[in-house]
Amino acid sequence: MLKILFLSGLIGITAFSCRKEKIKPQHNSNITLYDKPLNVIRANTIGKWKLQYEKGGFCGTCIYRNFQNFIWEFTSDNKFIQTYNDTLFVDSDIVWPRIKYFNGFTYLMSVHDLDGIPWNYIVKGIYNDTLVFSDYGSDPVSYYLTRSN
């Protein structure tokens, strides 16, 4: 009887200690995301973000600032929604394939616009409260976004 009681207690303690830890986003901080697990990337990007500017492309140092009303939204049910002046451009489920990236791996954020054209991004990180993405390809453009109210 004592062995059964001890075994039951051990199983109970093990079951309660194996609870999955909820990842908390690190708002108002600096965090590199391209080298993190997918649940950390998603937890830190959920919400609405306002595109402030783009940098790069063929002109690696050029900055483009004509994006006052572009909103990128990442939902908790793994969707990406992009609007410009309240006009919908993207409403897509996100697919997250794991890819080789430099000397390691990262998750590629893959979505489709309303015409079915694929868009692929690397989530770089949040630096000085600015979320940074880059295109996946040669001469990538980087996108700089801040939280939208």
Q: Which ranges of the chain have pLDDT less than 70?
A: 1-28
pLDDT at 24: 55
| Domain extents in the chain | 22-147
Could you report the per-residue pLDDT of 7-24, keeping only the tens digit for each?
555 455 554 444 444 555
Cα dihedral 73, 75, 81, 87, rounded to 10, equals: -70
What kind of architecture, by CATH, is found in domain 22-147?
Answer: Beta Barrel (2.40)
How far apart are alpha carbons 130 and 52 in whole angstroms?
Answer: 9
pLDDT at 16: 47
